[in-house]
A and B are shown apart, each in its own frame.
Chain A
Amino acid sequence: MTRKHALAAGLVVVLIAVLVALPLFVKKESTINLAILVGLYVSLASSWNILGGYTGQTSLGHAAFFGLGTLVTRLLWLSAGLPLPLSILAGGIAAVVLSLIIGAPAFKLRGAYFAIGTLALGQVLYVIVGDRWPTITSLPAEQLATYSILSRYYLFLAFTVLTIGTAYLLVNSRLGLGMMAVREEEDAAESLGVSALRHKLLALGVSSFLAGLIGGAFAFYHVGYYPQLPFGPIYSFDAVTIAFIGGTGTIIGPIVGGIFFVLLRELLALKLVEIHLTVFGILFVLVVLFLPGGLVEAWSRTRDAFARRLRKQETRSLPQEAG
């Protein structure tokens, strides 16, 4: 535990305290809603990042697990009358079970099989849920009467902290090192006794569980929506885009990406209706092509370049001073 670590830990605690106290200063409901959206996208991208960023297994169907969380939560909580926490937990567990059905066969082979499988899974659930539950799911009147935006805000805050915290603890553990070794070079990792399959399944399970929980929070938050909506490919795309724009395989990347995403989307939505998807699509392609480390890398590059220039100036100016 160096001083730098202590400083970072202190900063995190202060940041969380500020976010907890936020509703005391901010009374406008639209701002709280914006904060909820930031929480949703930051946590969704962070949960994707555990699997896609740290373990190198690109999922193109993250929405399947997120969506299943929303569906199970709404069914158990509203239709079956179970308590909310239990319903959300069940949603997370359902997402894990579903993910392993795809993951176990697809991970046995390399290459793009897992990506194809998850892409297909997302689409299949999207179509089936749209067919099976074609009408809007709405919160019942007694829920609406007591609807409080603050409880939603705190649930999202809790899940965002949980997701980022889990990601942080996981990637700084022995298991996390194994995950990254699998990402970098699967054969080398295997030869050192790291089971690639086991680490991939672990990352998949954790990532899906978190996505399922976040889905539960979404189900608690949204007043009315088509059950199909959260299964839509756009949620998978958003998770991947945010992680990439921020920087995959870093803890801070999805956080930066999520904030950037929500704010830019708000900005674009004010001026141009629904063009944000095109903008993000192009931005995403550019990042993958030219800036694989995302905004995080861009920042560290500019900082390094700046520091180098500063040092150069110092060394150049030193002899002059001496002379």
Chain B
Amino acid sequence: MLSQLPQNLVFGLLVGGLYGLAAVGLSLVFGVTKILNVSHGELLMLGGYASFWLFTLFGVDPFLGLPLAILLLVLLGLVLYKVVFGRMTKLGEESKIKNTMLVGFGVGIVFQNVAQRLWTADSRGITTTYSSSVFTVFGVRFPIVRVGSFLIALFVLVALHLFLKRTYLGKAIRATVEDWEAAAVLGISTDRVYLISFLMGAGLAGLAGALVSVGWSIEPTMGLEWTLTSLIVMVLGGLGSFVGTFVAGVLLGVTQSLTSFWMGGAYREMVALLLFLLVLVARPQGLFGTKEG
């Protein structure tokens, strides 16, 4: 029994990387635009289906097809922003958070039901020729697709970090987060920054979903759980710290897998909620956030 412990830790770590990736997308959009997109999990679900159908219908390798899945979700994000979320960017902060959250809730329900109509409620996953490949270190199994997913998540986050720190556009995004009025005065088009951030969030959700469909499984109702996980990881990590968000994701993944190891799978969710409440009481700025964040 106890020999299974390291194995559970590793599985928790690997899925935690995806929690981090999903939460970073949500956190980026929320931090920049104050749009609280609670249909983020549904976008992730659709990214998973994009990858699944690309593989099933056209034989596109799920890892090589990642850019395509991301692109599809960015396009969907564009439609979603133009038709729905973009209309609310001019609202005051509090009502913007509230209205986008409500709208996101509705959008999520629509996506979930459309997915269920189109593709049935079945749980699906991608099985490639290398899906069952595993390498073993000290008796602990590392499935290569999950390790690959974790590394890709890590790589994308580093790239995102560098993009925000080094490039002109990245700096414009950070300036908008600091003070959108001052940024606008300095000639930054905040409308464009909002749009780009939202699209990046959708793309990150698509990527995370595509990775989930390879190493784990997808189904139309998975969205809500992923939205919640992302929200909670975002709060745990604290706003404005992507590294913190990623670490919080990994921490949550590990904690959840330990909980299901000791108490059973149904209690994984409860741990997330308890952590969320604990952080609210003890450290409202998040585990890694700054005081103002």
Residues in chain A within 8 A of chain B (CB atoms): 56, 58, 60, 101-102, 105-106, 108-113, 115-117, 119-121, 123-124, 127-128, 130-132, 233, 237, 240-241, 244, 274-275, 277-278, 280-282, 284-285, 288-289
Contacts and interface: CB of A to CB of B under 8 A. Distances in A.
Contact of A128 (B94, B228, B267, B277): B267
For A128, A130, A132, which residue has the most chain B Cβ atoms within 10 angstroms? A128
A302 B264 CA distance: 56
B289 to A, nearest CB: 13
A289 B266 contact: no
A275 B117 contact: yes
B113 A277 contact: yes
Contacts of B101: 58, 60, 112, 115
5 contacts: A116-B276, A240-B102, A244-B102, A274-B113, A278-B114
A256 B235 CA distance: 37
A123 B105 contact: no
Contact of A241 (B99, B106, B277, B280): B106
B103 A288 contact: yes
Contacts of A119: 38, 224, 227-228, 231
Contacts of A116: 228, 231-232, 235, 276
B273 A233 contact: no
Contacts of B231: 116, 119-120
A123 B272 CA distance: 11
Nearest to A101: B277
Given A130-B266, A282-B110, A285-B107, A123 B228 contact: yes
Contact of A123 (B114, B269, B277): B269
Contact of B110 (A109, A121, A240, A281): A281
A112 B84 CA distance: 20
B225 A123 contact: yes
A288 B99 contact: yes
B277 A102 contact: yes
A288 B91 CA distance: 13
Given A131-B264, A244-B102, A105 B114 contact: no
A204 to B, nearest CB: 15
B97 interface: yes
A277 B109 contact: yes
Given A119-B228, A120-B232, 8 more contacts: A116-B235, A120-B276, A123-B269, A124-B272, A124-B273, A233-B224, A244-B102, A289-B87
A241 B108 CA distance: 13
By Cβ-Cβ distance, the 10 closest A-B pairs, closest first, are A131-B266, A281-B110, A281-B109, A285-B106, A284-B106, A105-B280, A120-B273, A124-B269, A277-B113, A278-B113
Given A113-B235, A123-B269, A131-B266, A281 B113 contact: yes
A108 B284 CA distance: 9
Nearest to B116: A274
Contact of A117 (B87, B103, B277): B277
A284 B101 CA distance: 12
B109 A106 contact: no
A97 to B, nearest CB: 15
Contacts of A288: 99, 102-103, 106
A127 B114 CA distance: 23
Nearest to A132: B266
A274 B114 CA distance: 10
